[in-house]
Structure 1
Amino acid sequence: MSDTSLSNPNSPNENASLTEWLDYMQQIHVSAIDMGLSRVLPVAEALGVVQSAKDDTYVFTVAGTNGKGSTTAVIAQMCQAAGYKTALYQSPHLSVFNERVRINGEMVSDQVLIAAFSKVEAARLQCELTLSFFEMTTLAALLIFAEADCDVWVLEVGLGGRLDVVNIIDPDMAVITNIAIDHVDWLGDNVEDIGAEKAGILRDDISLIYGAIEMPDSVQQAIDKHQTNCYQVGQDFSHRDIDAGTWQYSNAAVTMQLPRPALSLTNTANALSAVLASPLNIDTDAIEAALQTVKLAGRFDYREIDNRYWLFDVAHNEQGVEFLLAQLLPLWEQHVADQNTAEHADSAPATIKMLFSMLADKDIEKVVQRLTETGLPISEWFIAEIDYPRAASTEHLQGILVNHVDDAQVHEFERLQSATYAVRAVSQPQDLIVVCGSFHTIGEALSALDADNLS
């Protein structure tokens, strides 16, 4: 093997910080994304995490193109509200790595993570294998859940499904939120290939919640192969708005009027379907309590910060933008109505200011096209390159934007921190600042606001 970490290990010592561990794990493998389970399974077996997940543990695994974070958050909150010790694994994070690994809603500490990283590193070296950052950190999360003896594991797939490290764990309940074109370099450039990858989380005789009206043939073939009991939105369950504070969920067995959560109703309905189809004892009181408390930073995350209104959403592909716009249009109408009755009603009309950046391997053109053709009053765009290896350059972003908006509306900055400060400075109290395009865009904007003691 060519990786020098095997012949000359340079693992952080017992006094290393979480940052030192994260930096180290970024460097020990030849590529950031290396799909496949052949290297991961021996290390997982050495750690005992595969067997631990089978022992008195109920596992939800959630795959899909968009909505995985919201769906896993709602499932976990419902299980926790019902009294189950609940593990939640999500990725990526927005501000701190610890966000990825939670038990009963609380991020695990640096010390717990470091101890798990150390054990994964020892097992990796014992097996004489290299692992990517995502593989290392996911194994650490699973080890933490096993050692904490959690009742329920709620696992978000990172990329695809079939070859994602999360798929070393056999789920008791699978969820596929939706399937759209994304990550074409790894999953394929059509929904049939992508569907086959995501349906790789299925196992024989388990249940699947499928959260989209259209289903690729490849997913149906996987359902037939595994004799999966499939519950599909529009056929086996549905939801609808009632008013600003309530919504209705229905399946063949129940109709429930429930408090409206702060997250997407589509994803909430998928999560509720998974919980109801499971053997877990989760009653209406727990469901209602969970819906009133569940939240997830960066998912249609509407906040007032330092006398400015901000909306943070991690939409980073065409379908994600469709979800965003479906919720943004009614929010904007309500926002305008609120401002017309506020103390600055005589000021200039409220506008939307966009703080925007994306990764270069995303379809930036389609995202920008959807955002600009809605008729929303986006008066200015503030763009900058994200501090991430796959980031689109500011020049690339600008080149796409000027095909859709006037050049004078686009303001370029070297870093997103500067763009964040600039949009805050030029906006008015009645405006809405929308931040979207990537998890990294949201994370850097929030970090900038934190650094300036605004958030």
Structure 2
Amino acid sequence: MAALWVFRELGVAYQLLEVGLGGRLDAVNIIDADVAVVTAIGLDHQEWLGSDVETIAIEKCGIARSGRPCIVADEAAPATVMQTLNDVDARAIAAGVDYQFSDTYFVWRDGQSFSWDIPGGVIPLNAGAAVAALLSTGFSVSEQGFARATSLLRLRGRREHTQLGGVSVVMDVAHNPDAALQLHQFLKALPQVEKTVAVFAVMSDKDCRDMISALETNVDFWCLPGGIGGERGQDPEKLSDYLGENSRVFETFDESLECALDRLNGVGRLLVFGSFFTVAAGIDALRLRASGTEGAINV
């Protein structure tokens, strides 16, 4: 409410609001948006949203409004998405039907198209949904303006790929199984390295077993810090039970990072992922190290 008050006082013309907790139940949903976007639908926050993607989809579509566009970004969205949007009389605009996208292009339903070169931290599905949201509200976007906008895209902590000396560093706030699978694909596309060591911590309400399964083939050793996220944080001992001898538990993030870098010994890949708390700690710690490390860039 405070943020919305500030926006009104300052006369903000365009507001982009993230709706957390799936959709309908989030406080941000008090706003009747000009356009809504429903992105990829997966299992998350099940204790609030439901135990299956069909039910979760209904909750996510709770942000749609009658007579206004709602972008459906997931081509594999369950049938309950369109059913719910029809029930509320929203104008559904669906990926694969009203617009097409790939890693290299976007095509709108009227034939307007753009080529793009999206940074590694930006998922094409989300980029396509963003452009569809703009066009659905009548905005005019030139190819030149679009190319400039995509070239400036930077999302901290979203598949962020940097270097620390001779170590390739990837940081990602993947904190559910779907995001972990996306991270798996991203890592596969990177140049291969001899060894990858992960620093991983996540909240206790997340499906950590499936997250680990998605990335087991990418990671050689796991460093598991405690103290991440306070009482909500997953017990690293429980994570270690899943991982076995290829893991080690630490009391703090700094201790786990120190072990990971020692194991890499100046080469290979460091993966920091899980909750936002985990990646935030990684960004801060690596920035300090980068300031005194020859060859460190963009950390």
Q: Could you say whether these structures have the same fold, taking a TM-score greater than 0.5 normalized by the shorter chain as the test? A: yes
1:393 to 235, 239, 260: 235
- Find the aligned partners of 2:257 and 2:3 in 1 and give their Cα distance: 33
1:284 to 120, 143, 146: 143
Partner of 2:256: 419
Question: Tell me, what secondary structure is at the counterpart of 1:235?
Answer: coil
2:206 to 358, 362, 370: 362
How many percent of aligned residue pairs carry the same amino acid? 28
- Find the aligned partners of 2:202 and 2:97 in 1 and give their Cα distance: 35
- Find the aligned partners of 2:130 and 2:208 in 1 and give their Cα distance: 29
**Cα deviation digits, residues 241-271 of structure 1 (max 9, x gap):** 4xxxxx1112322222123334111211111
1:381 to 207, 222, 246: 222
- Find the aligned partners of 1:414 and 1:143 in 2 and give their Cα distance: 41
Query: Are 2:92 and 1:248 aligned?
Result: no
Does the 8 Å CA contact 1:382/1:410 hold for their aligned counterparts? yes
User: Structure 2: which amino acid aligns with 1:327?
Assistant: F
Q: Matched residue pairs, number? A: 289
Normalising to structure 2: TM-score of the pair?
0.91
- Find the aligned partners of 2:236 and 2:76 in 1 and give their Cα distance: 36
| Long gaps (5+) in structure 1 | 1-138, 242-246, 337-348
Query: Are 2:184 and 1:325 aligned?
Result: yes
| Superposed counterparts of 1:33-44, under 5 Å | none
Per the TM alignment, residue 390 of structure 1 is displaced from its structure 2 partner at its CA by 0.6
- Find the aligned partners of 1:323 and 1:217 in 2 and give their Cα distance: 23
**Cα deviation digits, residues 249-295 of structure 1 (max 9, x gap):** 12322222123334111211111111121222332222111100011
Does the 8 Å CA contact 1:175/1:274 hold for their aligned counterparts? yes
Does the 8 Å CA contact 1:309/1:429 hold for their aligned counterparts? no
User: Structure 2: which amino acid aligns with 1:210?
Assistant: V
Does the 8 Å CA contact 2:57/2:81 hold for their aligned counterparts? yes
- Find the aligned partners of 1:313 and 1:238 in 2 and give their Cα distance: 26
Does the 8 Å CA contact 1:317/1:363 hold for their aligned counterparts? yes
Per the TM alignment, residue 306 of structure 1 is displaced from its structure 2 partner at its CA by 4.1
- Find the aligned partners of 1:449 and 1:369 in 2 and give their Cα distance: 27
Partner of 1:268: 127
> CA RMSD for the aligned pairs?
1.7
User: Structure 1: which amino acid aligns with 2:254?
Assistant: Q
Question: Tell me, what secondary structure is at the counterpart of 1:155?
Answer: coil
Partner of 1:315: 174
- Find the aligned partners of 2:88 and 2:235 in 1 and give their Cα distance: 44
| Long gaps (5+) in structure 2 | 292-298
Question: Tell me, what secondary structure is at the counterpart of 1:153?
Answer: coil
Normalising to structure 1: TM-score of the pair?
0.61
Q: 1:152 to 1:231 in 2, by over 3 A?
A: same
Does the 8 Å CA contact 1:358/1:392 hold for their aligned counterparts? yes
- Find the aligned partners of 2:27 and 2:233 in 1 and give their Cα distance: 24
- Find the aligned partners of 2:66 and 2:125 in 1 and give their Cα distance: 27
My pick for the range that moved more, 293-302 or 190-199, is 190-199
Question: Tell me, what secondary structure is at the counterpart of 1:359?
Answer: coil
Does the 8 Å CA contact 2:69/2:92 hold for their aligned counterparts? yes
- Find the aligned partners of 1:149 and 1:205 in 2 and give their Cα distance: 25
- Find the aligned partners of 1:172 and 1:274 in 2 and give their Cα distance: 9
Q: Which runs of 4+ in 1 moved over 3 A?
A: 450-455
Does the 8 Å CA contact 1:387/1:415 hold for their aligned counterparts? no
Question: Tell me, what secondary structure is at the counterpart of 1:161?
Answer: coil
Does the 8 Å CA contact 2:164/2:290 hold for their aligned counterparts? no
**Cα deviation digits, residues 30-51 of structure 1 (max 9, x gap):** xxxxxxxxxxxxxxxxxxxxxx
**Cα deviation digits, residues 175-201 of structure 1 (max 9, x gap):** 000211111111111112211111110
Question: Tell me, what secondary structure is at the counterpart of 2:161?
Answer: strand
Question: Tell me, what secondary structure is at the counterpart of 1:230?
Answer: strand
